[in-house]
């Protein structure tokens, strides 16, 4: 191997190491902090590995904020219904765009895509006024119901995936006495497992990490989600860095597990959505 190839390889590995430090560095520091004692976090110079591994941070976290388990449960419930709503509503709309040959299809689908360009901040005040008129403030309905009305991004993913499924399968189902609902429930959806899992993961993670929505619409602390609860926790334990790190760790565990067990579905689903327009 000549010196030029060695230099290229060295530069590539250097860039990979720098990228790894940028992305993995905060995670490593969080894990290190939550396993330290409170006094260790103020040592100068700081250390990555704690002198003694301790889980006292979790004990202090739940002692300071007994509603942590309630917030975790609330986040799971809301995220579950949001993910379910995203799959059901978006797949139905996408099924219509991919299988129903109407003269309005090529007009309405671009309109759906245009809504992706609308900044969420523009819809914040109108949405709050609407939900206030419906008496939905301080309930979970503003967080869950919109997911059951379809999402432009998920509709696009489902529609692109459905377009890759041969329509000959639809015709065979019709010949067997099936109808459009039979095609949707017994042909299209069973073959769409990758994009279903992708949508579940994206919708669940977006809901789990959402701070602004619960912060705007929920006033009762018992109904808080984990993201809002952790913000409240910062004011209560601002000097207890291990406890804050422990709370942050709890918030990312479900996301990490989702990506760990379903990453192949994400890759497969996203790749297949672009194979046919």
pLDDT bucket at 270, cuts 50 / 70 / 90: low
The structure tokens listed for 197 are: 């899992």
| Residue with more model confidence, 75 or 3 | 75
pLDDT bucket at 277, cuts 50 / 70 / 90: very low
**pLDDT tens track for 182-196:** 999 999 999 998 899
Which residue shows structure tokens 């109808």?
179
The structure tokens listed for 2 are: 């000549």
Res 273: pLDDT: 54
For 22, counting Cβ atoms within 10 Å of its Cβ (0-12 exposed, 13-18 middle, 19+ buried), the class is exposed
Q: Global pTM?
A: 0.85
What is the percent of the chain with per-residue pLDDT over 70, rounded to a whole number? 94
Q: What is the largest CA-CA distance in the chain?
A: 76
Half-sphere exposure of 88 (CA within 13 A, CB side): 12
**pLDDT tens track for 54-105:** 888 888 888 888 888 999 999 999 999 999 999 999 999 999 999 888 888 8
| Residue with more model confidence, 140 or 9 | 140
Res 152: pLDDT: 92
**pLDDT exceeds 60 at position 249:** yes
Closest by Cα among 29, 76, 24, 58 to 254: 76
**pLDDT tens track for 202-232:** 999 999 999 999 999 999 989 999 999 888 8
CA distance 130 to 216: 13
Closest by Cα among 103, 98, 112, 108 to 183: 98
Domains present along the chain, CATH in parentheses: 3-54 (no CATH), 60-273 (1.10.3720.10)
């Amino acid at each position: 191997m000549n010196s030029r190839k060695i230099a290229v390889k060295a530069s590539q590995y250097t860039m990979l190491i720098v990228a790894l430090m940028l992305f993995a560095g905060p995670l490593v520091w969080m894990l290190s902090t939550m396993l330290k004692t409170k006094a260790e976090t103020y040592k100068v110079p700081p250390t990555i590995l704690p002198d003694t591994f301790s889980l006292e941070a979790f004990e202090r976290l739940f002692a300071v904020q007994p509603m942590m388990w309630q917030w975790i449960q609330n986040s799971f419930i809301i995220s579950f219904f949001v993910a379910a709503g995203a799959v059901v509503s978006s797949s139905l709309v996408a099924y219509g765009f991919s299988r129903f040959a109407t003269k309005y299809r090529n007009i309405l689908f671009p309109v759906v895509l245009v809504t992706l360009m609308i900044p969420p901040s523009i819809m914040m005040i109108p949405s709050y006024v609407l939900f206030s008129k419906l008496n939905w403030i301080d309930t979970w309905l503003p967080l869950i119901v919109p997911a059951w009305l379809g999402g432009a991004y998920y509709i696009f993913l489902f529609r692109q995936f459905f377009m890759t499924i041969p329509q000959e399968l639809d015709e065979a189902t019709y010949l067997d006495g099936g109808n459009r609902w039979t095609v949707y429930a017994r042909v299209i959806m069973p073959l769409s497992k990758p994009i279903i899992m992708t949508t579940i993961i994206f919708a669940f993670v977006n809901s789990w990490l959402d701070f602004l929505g619960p912060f705007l619409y929920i006033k009762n602390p018992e109904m808080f989600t984990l993201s809002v609860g952790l913000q409240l926790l910062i004011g209560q334990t601002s000097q207890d860095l291990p406890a804050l790190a422990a709370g942050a760790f709890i918030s990312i565990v479900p996301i990490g597990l989702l990506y760990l067990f379903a990453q192949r579905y994400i890759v497969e689903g996203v790749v297949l959505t672009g194979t046919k327009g």
